[in-house]
Structure 1
């Protein structure tokens, strides 16, 4: 009976892992980290901050190649994610590193890729909405729009509701030319405090009329490059405008 129960639990948890994200332990490695974790990032914030002071410094998160070679950054992100597999900012930074500086990263086996560390995060905490959110952005920037839409929907069903989530989901809907939904998520984002104006500008340019924005939370003037405005509160280090 116990074995049947365990099998049922495994199947139930697996249902939260999207089919497009599933790899395997054989491909991506065990979660065992030789006694140093894995730990749930959400349950150990103090110890996570201690590790971040060494392995995930602000300049590392910002992908500052003047201070850290791309290969060094990949190693630090992998260390962080082996200890805290569902660390959303580290997952996001790893994804951006591969996308922006992939040509500067020496070839490696699959187990040392961002895709595999997302797989590990899903196996570790399949119901963590932040993991699904960051994976949605990962898929979005690589142009996998339909898969990204499924990942955003999964994150929302699990309770993700930050301004950053709504803003990025709105950007995806705009890229899919689903303008009513883009406008709906834009208004949710701005009503929750989002400041970047790019999404509202896309929607108005598409002929959908102005986005309702509370006057006290009106977006600041657009910077020359909206991505340069930095990360967002929902997922630290999250890009504002996936490409």
Structure 2
């Protein structure tokens, strides 16, 4: 993603304070919540039918109100809903605000809630790391993606995202290591490999 310097500074300045304002008092207790992976599938289906439609996930428009409101509703019931967390992150970055219109909590709070609910959910850590990287918080992104890979070392998407992070840092050896692992595990997109080739850092 090509970042315009002025916009990057704005996004970072909005996000940085929020990373430290995460606690149960600030972000709410986890009451009447359900696991996205192993929870109530019927309830999940109902919630997604009304509050996480394809238009919401692609950030075109809300279904029962604002995009922030529908995503917030989904995440209040299913804190570790991976796709809703990813969509909320994109909405926050797109709209350059920590708390999109209609949302109950900020983006930092929703990740705080997800991690408190399921601290060993590797995909939550990966999505958080991806968000932090795009927000310019590279050190924190490295920490979260490091936790993710420790939890699921054979996850191709986590390996790929770590490769992208190290490529951004121009740590080509690490980027190549994780890229090769991702492709060995079947990751389908060639973007990371192509970027390493362009940098003259890829060998078959």
TM-score band, normalised by the shorter chain?
Answer: 0.7 to 0.9
Give, in angstroms, the shift of residue 100 of structure 1.
1.1
Structure 1: gaps of 5 or more residues: 1-19, 213-243
CA-based RMSD: 2.3
Matched with 1:130 is 123
Return the alpha-carbon distance in structure 1 between the equivalents of residues 105 and 59 of structure 2. Answer: 18
Q: Which moved more, 1:160-169 or 1:124-133?
A: 160-169
Structure with the bigger percentage of helix: 2
1:53-202 to 2 correspondences below 5 Å = 53-64=49-60, 67-68=61-62, 72-102=66-96, 112-159=105-152, 161-202=154-195
- Residues 15-70 of structure 1 show CA distances to partners (whole Å, capped at 9, x for unaligned) of xxxxx6772112111212xxxx3011111262323321111011211111xx439x
Give, in angstroms, the shift of residue 115 of structure 1.
0.7
Return the alpha-carbon distance in structure 1 between the equivalents of residues 25 and 154 of structure 2. Answer: 34
Return the alpha-carbon distance in structure 2 between the equivalents of residues 193 and 59 of structure 1. Answer: 29
- Summarize the Cα distance change of 1:23–1:143 in structure 2 as closer, same or farther, 3 Å threshold: same
TM-score scaled by length of structure 1: 0.68
- Summarize the Cα distance change of 1:169–1:106 in structure 2 as closer, same or farther, 3 Å threshold: closer
- Summarize the Cα distance change of 1:80–1:106 in structure 2 as closer, same or farther, 3 Å threshold: closer
Dislocated runs of 4+, deviation >3 Å: 105-109
TM-score scaled by length of structure 2: 0.81
- Residues 74-131 of structure 1 show CA distances to partners (whole Å, capped at 9, x for unaligned) of 111110111011111111110100101236x76689x621110101111111121111
Length, aligned pairs only: 183
Structure 2: gaps of 5 or more residues: 1-18
Return the alpha-carbon distance in structure 2 between the equivalents of residues 107 and 62 of structure 1. Answer: 16
Instruction: Tell whether the 8 Å contact from 1:39 to 1:85 is kept in structure 2 after alignment.
Output: yes
Give, in angstroms, the shift of residue 169 of structure 1.
1.2
Q: 2:34 aligns with which of 35, 39, 44?
A: 39
- Residues 179-219 of structure 1 show CA distances to partners (whole Å, capped at 9, x for unaligned) of 11111111122222222222112111222133x3xxxxxxx
